[in-house]
Chains A and B, each alone.
Chain A
């Protein structure tokens, strides 16, 4: 492969207490790529992201970012290295304004000096956020909340932006808007995306991984995956 490897998850197992939730997970994201992880509820996608961010530590295997081993680092160290996670459920700061939410997104030392520049970029991407910058986050609509969550994630100038459950709970129009905006930042930022909306992610992404019950069961380029019988059966309701 000629591309530069950005994130490498190498054969990890993750436990919650004595309960194993991930088995032998390996995943690679190259610089500039747009990668989707798909799978049903409870298949371990969020846990995988928790492990990448250092919220849970794998019992086996390693995680590398920009060629550096980040297994065992704390979340704030990992965020500082350039990974940003837009969590499931957005997790905005409800009693802070839109602007304050964005500013706190640029908390890391490196991001602070480039705050105004990042802010301009986010406002250009989501003009709605600039219109509403003085509103409290809890007063936003679902689509605007997701825009703010993504904008806040971009404020740290990440090399890798991970978005957990992008379209969950959003209207089709809001989902479209956000996917259109993401197209604008493709190439600038590497994107790793989790979706339950399989059709959509297989349309937008370059490559995808399919998770089932804590295992990766399939992976490859999206055009190949679209033809896979397993996916067609499981997610598109195609009967043979």
Chain B
């Protein structure tokens, strides 16, 4: 499956948009934590990969389908996220923001090394029966997992929007991100809200990890690569805008796939980043930034 063989631009365009869904899932978790706590969680990519390995373990050792493994990994990762926030980050916030950033770097390094010890540096993939299937719509050939990525992106975005808009907990998360002191004065236990927001971001990371493992092969050090993509997507869309993140993900996927079509697979990430660079040079706040 090389992109050079594709004669029609319709295929890379469709694939790019669908693949964007994966980046949206990963980026929404990153931007949720950034929006609420003003923390750049540099371990986000590695935590996404945790879910990829968890699904790999569930598939190879327990015989559980990767998508079904989300039933286990989402609550587990929510719990891990809540615990990281409650026992580590809430304490480091009291020291300084720099301390929290360093903690995240530490978590990232620890995870990458633990993955190497347990699963070796070899490349792994969630090769299920359907992971390699594709279907054709007219002349456009679409891998099934790309469609899954897109559905996951939509689902996570709609869930997050409804959650933030309709529940007291969601409103409290929004309030804390807009004015921390005022949120406290409303009777909101902001440290608990932080734990919940981080847990939620990790539950999204679980979804992202499974989609990632179905779409691409991964290694213990794949995390930072996807962290950087997610950062690009968040900044491209504009900080604090959910719709921006969604569009940003699509643009990034498009740039990657269409860029790959014209300049070869080796240059596809280069094309994507150059595009991010150009857009930010023109609109420094991002597409939907405030």
Query: A residues near B, CB below 8 A?
Result: 53, 55, 74-76, 79-80, 84-85, 87, 91-96, 100, 103-105, 107-108, 111-112, 152, 156
Contacts and interface: CB of A to CB of B under 8 A. Distances in A.
A154 B185 CA distance: 12
Given A95-B290, A112-B168, A105 B186 contact: yes
Contacts of A105: 186
Interface stretch (B48-56, B169-177, B230-238, B278-286): B169-177
- Shortest 4 CB-CB distances between A and B: which pairs? A79-B187, A91-B182, A108-B187, A93-B178
Contacts of A96: 171, 174-175, 178
Given A103-B171, A104-B172, A94 B187 contact: no
A107 B186 contact: yes
B185 A75 contact: yes
Most B Cβ at <10 Å: residue of A53, A87, A111: A87
Interface of B: 168, 171-172, 174-175, 178-179, 181-190, 290
A167 to B, nearest CB: 20
A100 B187 contact: no
A87 B182 CA distance: 8
A198 B193 CA distance: 40
A189 to B, nearest CB: 16
Contact of A76 (B178, B181, B189): B189
B184 A76 contact: yes
Most B Cβ at <10 Å: residue of A85, A91, A92, A94: A91
Given A91-B182, A93-B179, A156-B187, 13 more contacts: A55-B181, A74-B189, A75-B185, A75-B187, A79-B187, A80-B187, A92-B182, A93-B178, A94-B178, A96-B175, A104-B183, A107-B168, A111-B187
A93 B175 contact: yes
Contacts of A100: 171, 174
12 contacts: A55-B181, A80-B187, A84-B185, A92-B182, A93-B175, A93-B182, A100-B174, A104-B175, A104-B188, A107-B168, A108-B187, A156-B186
A92 to B, nearest CB: 7
Contacts of A108: 186-187
Contacts of B188: 76, 104, 107
B184 A55 contact: yes
A119 to B, nearest CB: 14
Contacts of B183: 93, 104
B181 to A, nearest CB: 6
Contacts of B172: 104, 107
A217 B182 CA distance: 30
A95 B164 CA distance: 13
Contact of B185 (A53, A95, A112): A53
Nearest to B185: A85
Most B Cβ at <10 Å: residue of A55, A93, A95, A108: A93
A112 B181 CA distance: 21
